[in-house]
Structure 1
């Protein structure tokens, strides 16, 4: 009987602890996303580089950059030949998304398993950069797409941030991951760092907005938190 009571107490404390952590996490995800990070002031006029904040599904977010500018030609590394279509016609923008390979590689949310979720949540998996070529017509501003105009200096910082999210090989080249694709115009590459419940794909995007001096939030693991400052404009 004593052993049973002790076991029940341990189970109760464990479940209570898990519930407390979940409640704290939910409160942080909601509360910290309400604290805005203002865009840095820039003088009017001058050259601007157009980029986009984009969500394909209201869960994951991408930073979408022009394929070629005077500062960076992404097609030299993120090659059209790495996509199954191998088509360059009209694809003038390139979306970058960071995330856990386990999440990325499943066909759909119905295929998500508990082991995949736990590895991702607790910093135990490996990550990838998912890149998707887009036409300009696919990037119409709306609830899932925000147009941003960066100064050359801001864009340079964003390029540095995005490029630094790829895990390079010994020759400092991006590492293509063949055999994984969602459509004919996307490709995967090895990513830096590890995914966790504290550092999600949307946290990565939020940090990119901060690096580029754009409006962001203090912290968010969710796509909705990223778009809130722009909806409130």
Structure 2
């Protein structure tokens, strides 16, 4: 009996130590890798404005609603918002876990099952879009001027993040929004501790040949590159 108890205690100790080691390694990676820059010297002289916009936790990439490179009004429809119509010059894209997006409008609504699925690659994803007439730069909203070529790379990245239907159209998730000027769509990929909403935004900046972190799961890692 004593030997059995010892085996159980040894297994429990190893399990706990394994968890502690994982957490320490994860936090160390977060702390170190966001400090390593990618595309430190992007092409200068761009005339297309984009923004990285954070709510303090989650980063959106905000792009022109329509220009010579891309007309988003053909994919992201005003009629799929509660307002049904609006005057807008920009549209924001934010990728994330579908359960978080649709079932957790406030942090107080967060369920343990939703958090577990999101953390361990068990949920599905969605794209949140929002129309803006204008944006104001501040500590959590940074304007970046990029070239047409680089913007085309960013556009391609965003487009490929959507889950398309058989007609190659973006799939609107009806009945869900945070306000009058936003909408949700089905998206590709799965959220996890290693690929978060901010990782997605950081990868988008890489696709557009802009300054980005080597890897980051949180918004501060992105904005650190623009300080």
TM-score after normalising by structure 1: 0.93
Partner of 1:70: 68
Q: Secondary structure at the match of 2:126?
A: strand
Q: Does the aligned pair in 1 maintain the 2:43–2:146 contact within 8 Å?
A: no
The alpha-carbon deviation at position 115 of structure 1 amounts to 1.3
Q: Does 1:206 align with 2:206?
A: no
Corresponding position of 2:160: 164
For 2:120, the equivalent position in structure 1 comes to 122
Which residue in the other structure is 2:217 paired with? 221
Show CA shifts across 1:117-150 (max 9, x none): 11111111100000011121xx111101000111
Runs of 4+ in 1 over 3 A off after TM superposition: none
Size of the aligned set, in residue pairs, is 225
Structure 2 residue runs without a partner (length 5+): none
Q: Could you report, residue by residue, the CA deviation over 1:189-231 in whole angstroms, capped at 9, with x for unpaired residues?
A: 0000111111110000000001111111100001110001111
- Note the aligned Cα RMSD (angstroms): 1.2
5 Å-filtered alignment, 1:52-201, equals: 52-55=51-54, 57-89=55-87, 91-105=88-102, 106-136=104-134, 139-201=135-197
SS in 2 for 1:52: strand
Between the aligned partners of 1:216 and 1:43, the Cα distance in structure 2 is 16
State the distance in 2 between where 1:110 and 1:15 align: 29
Compute the TM-score of the two structures, normalised by the length of structure 2. Answer: 0.96
Shift of 1:79: 0.2
Contact 1:39 1:213 in 2 (8 A): no
Unaligned runs of 5+ in 1: none
Distance 1:9 1:186 in 2: 52
Q: Is the 8 A contact 2:44 2:146 kept in 1?
A: no
